[in-house]
C-alpha cells in the first residue's frame, strides 16, 4: 500500500451482505495506480450476484474460473465474456460463499486522457478502422468499457485483494447526497427479474 492512499479497509467489505455492498459502493471511487499512470472513476452502477442466483457464476458449481469468488470479501474477480471483454467484480459475503458485485459503470475522474488512449487503442485494434473520438460520458459506461479504460487486466488483477493491489477503492469524497435507483439487471436471461441492479439516479454515466 502506498502512503497516503485512502483505500477502503477490509472491514468495509466484510460489514455488508452482497446486495447492501452493491449499494454502498455507489459514490466510491475505483482507482488503478498503474505503471502508465493513475486512472479513477466514481462508481455509479453496480449489480449483485448471489450464490442462489441462477445468473451468478458460482450458482450450483465451483470451478477454477470462479475460485476467486469463494475468497475473502474485497477480493477482485475478473472474468472474460464473449471471448473479448473483461468485467471486474468485488467479491462479497463470507469466504466459501461465492458471491460478488459487478461494477457496471464509472464517472471518470482522473487520467481521462489515458482512459481515452486505452479505449481508442482497443477499439481500433478490433475494427482496424479509425473512428471518431470517444466521449467522456462513454469511456466507462458499461462493464467491458470501464475495464478497458481503467487498464484492468485479468492476468494481473484476478484473485488479488483490493486492500493490497494497485487496483483499489476509496470512500466517496462527495458530500452531495444521491438517490439509488433499483432495477433489473442487464444482459442476462436467467434471474433477469431479480432487482439486483443499483445505480445513482439520473447520473449520465450510468450504462444504457
Residues spanned by the domain of 150: 10-200
97 occurs within a structural domain: yes
Q: What is the DSSP letter of 16?
A: S
184 occurs within a structural domain: yes
138 occurs within a structural domain: yes
**Cα 95 from Cα 185, distance rounded (Å):** 25
Nine-digit cell string for 70: 469463494
183 occurs within a structural domain: yes
**Cα 114 from Cα 154, distance rounded (Å):** 19
206 occurs within a structural domain: no
Q: How many domains does the chain have?
A: 1
What pLDDT tens digit does each residue of the chain (208 aa) get?
454 579 999 999 999 999 999 999 999 999 999 999 999 999 999 999 999 999 999 998 899 999 999 999 999 999 998 778 999 999 999 999 999 999 999 999 999 999 999 999 877 765 555 567 899 999 999 999 999 999 999 999 999 999 999 999 999 877 788 999 999 999 899 999 999 999 999 999 999 8
Residue pLDDT, tens place only, 55-101: 999 998 899 999 999 999 999 999 998 778 999 999 999 999 999 99
208 occurs within a structural domain: no
31 occurs within a structural domain: yes
Residue pLDDT, tens place only, 34-45: 999 999 999 999
Phi-psi region of 184 (alpha: psi -120 to 50; beta: other; left: phi over 0): beta
5 occurs within a structural domain: no
| CB contact at 8 A, 172 and 41 | no
Q: Which CATH number fits the domain that encloses residue 115? A: 3.10.300.10
- Work out the end-to-end distance of the chain between its first and last CA atoms, rounded to an integer number of angstroms: 35
Return the sign of the alpha-carbon dihedral for residues 69, 155, 136, 13.
positive
Amino acid at each position: 500500500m502506498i502512503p497516503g492512499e485512502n483505500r477502503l479497509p477490509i472491514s468495509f467489505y466484510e460489514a455488508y451482505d452482497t446486495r447492501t455492498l452493491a449499494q454502498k459502493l455507489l459514490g466510491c471511487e475505483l482507482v488503478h495506480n498503474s505503471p502508465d499512470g493513475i486512472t479513477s472513476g466514481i462508481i455509479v452502477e453496480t449489480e449483485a450476484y448471489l450464490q442462489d442466483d441462477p445468473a451468478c457464476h458460482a450458482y450450483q458449481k465451483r470451478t477454477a474460473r470462479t475460485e476467486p469468488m469463494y475468497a475473502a470479501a474485497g477480493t477482485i474477480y475478473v472474468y472474460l465474456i464473449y471471448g473479448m471483454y473483461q468485467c471486474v467484480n468485488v467479491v462479497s459475503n463470507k469466504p466459501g460463499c461465492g458471491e460478488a458485485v459487478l461494477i457496471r459503470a464509472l464517472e471518470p475522474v482522473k487520467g481521462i486522457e489515458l482512459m481515452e488512449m486505452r479505449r481508442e487503442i482497443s477499439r481500433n485494434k478490433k475494427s482496424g478502422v479509425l473512428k471518431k473520438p470517444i466521449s467522456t460520458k462513454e469511456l466507462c459506461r458499461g462493464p467491458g468499457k470501464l475495464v478497458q479504460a481503467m487498464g484492468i487486466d485479468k492476468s494481473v488483477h484476478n484473485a488479488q485483494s483490493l486492500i493490497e493491489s494497485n487496483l483499489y477503492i476509496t470512500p466517496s469524497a462527495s458530500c452531495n447526497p444521491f438517490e439509488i435507483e433499483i432495477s433489473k439487471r442487464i444482459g442476462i436471461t436467467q434471474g433477469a427479474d431479480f432487482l439486483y441492479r443499483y445505480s445513482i439516479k439520473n447520473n449520465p454515466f450510468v450504462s444504457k
